[in-house]
Chain A
Amino acid sequence: MDETRVTVILVMGGLAYAARVLPQVLFIGNKFPEVWDRFLRYLSYSFICGIISNTLFVTGARFDSGTAPHRAAALVLAVFVAHRTKSPVTGMIIGTTLVLLLSWFR
């Protein structure tokens, strides 16, 4: 195992644990303000979308113009199917199938 990776994973886990355990120690009997709860939710969603965009459309510091249209089409299809079927797994399978087919026939 790569030493740097393991260190990053260990620190990351430690920080995640701190976020989980601190309220158990400090906030017993208190309520987390709803308005901040909402902000953290928006932040998480925004991060996930940023990562999706980064993973699918950018390689290094370059826009992946060759594969971006295929991946964008697969993403739209995956989202549409997931929304209609209420099943993210079904959306993922359909999107992955499309992106595979498009990459094979390119």
Chain B
Amino acid sequence: MLFSPRFRQGAKAAIPIWIAFVPSSLAWGIAAQAHGFHLGEVILMSAWVYSGPAQFAVLAPIAAEKSSLQILLAASLMNLRFLPMSTALAPYFRGVRLWRLLPAAHFIVASSFVIPYLRFRQEFESRGGATTDQAPIDGQNNLSFFLGVGITSFLVWVVGTGVGHEVAQGLPGGFEEGLKFILPGYFAGLLVIDMRGRVLPLICLATLVATIPATLLSPDWGWIATAIVVATVGWSLEQWMKRA
């Protein structure tokens, strides 16, 4: 399965992801170093958690030795987005044995989800299937393609964060302010490019502003509660307006 033609196809398709992962992994490695993380911790988190936004979310709380519950709750809520991604991919791996799916699931992230998912849909529709129940699916082949995307992107991410950590160690003093800005600046850019519609920008703006007083009121839980409340209110309003 590994290094099969289908795996190599996946690896080729992942090249845009590698290019996107280089700056973000470097930025995360640099930020982790600025927060006092050791290289081993950086590699461990990148390899085992493998989730850019969640890793970003927990850097400051871990460095500030906030409660483990708060850190885990924040990370878990962010990682809930893997549920729909994994659910959407599941039908295309039909027939694959469970012991093969279990390790493969680790490579599901937003980027490595989109490319295989769109590819599987295209291939499936080209065979004339409207739903996944109506046409044959080669789960083994699909899994090879997915692994080609997922494993190579994973390696770029892990190596990139390690390199970022080492690069940051070599920076002279006076760059602390810049180091602190790198990751928030990068994520803000990612969000604004990815935004569609009117609700999401409003949610983001409201959270940006409301987080400050909320954190001052409750340094540990203020920002988490604010993020949950703002997202829930925004989503509920959108649902209500759709029905009205």
Interface residues of A (CB under 8 A from B): 1-2, 4-13, 15-17, 19-25, 27-32, 35-58, 60-63, 67, 70-71, 74-75, 78-79, 81-83, 86-92, 95-97, 99-100, 102-104
User: Do B191 and A49 touch (CB < 8 A)?
Assistant: yes
User: Do B57 and A51 touch (CB < 8 A)?
Assistant: yes
Measured CA separation A88–B27 after assembly (Å): 12
User: Do B216 and A49 touch (CB < 8 A)?
Assistant: no
With A12-B75, A38-B235, A42-B200 as known contacts, state yes or no: A51 contacts B60, CB within 8 Å: yes
Majority-rule SS of A interface residues: helix
Residues of chain B within 8 A (CB-CB) of A1 are: 38, 40-41, 44
Tell me the count of chain B residues lying within 8 A, CB to CB, of chain A.
Answer: 96
User: Do A23 and B228 touch (CB < 8 A)?
Assistant: no
Residues of chain A within 8 A (CB-CB) of B72 are: 8, 11-12, 15
- Is residue B170 contacting chain A, with contact meaning CB distance below 8 A? no
CB distance from A26 to the nearest CB of B (A): 9
User: Do A45 and B185 touch (CB < 8 A)?
Assistant: no
User: Do A28 and B44 touch (CB < 8 A)?
Assistant: no
- Within 119-176 of B, Cβ neighbours of A (below 8 Å) are at 132-133, 174-175
Measured CA separation A97–B177 after assembly (Å): 10
Residues of chain B within 8 A (CB-CB) of A79 are: 188-189, 192
The 4 A-B pairs of least Cβ separation, nearest first, read A88-B189, A82-B189, A13-B48, A91-B189
Measured CA separation A20–B94 after assembly (Å): 16
Measured CA separation A62–B219 after assembly (Å): 9
Q: Closest A-chain residue to B239, C-beta based?
A: A35
- Residue of A6, A9, A22, A96 most packed against chain B (CB within 10 A): A9
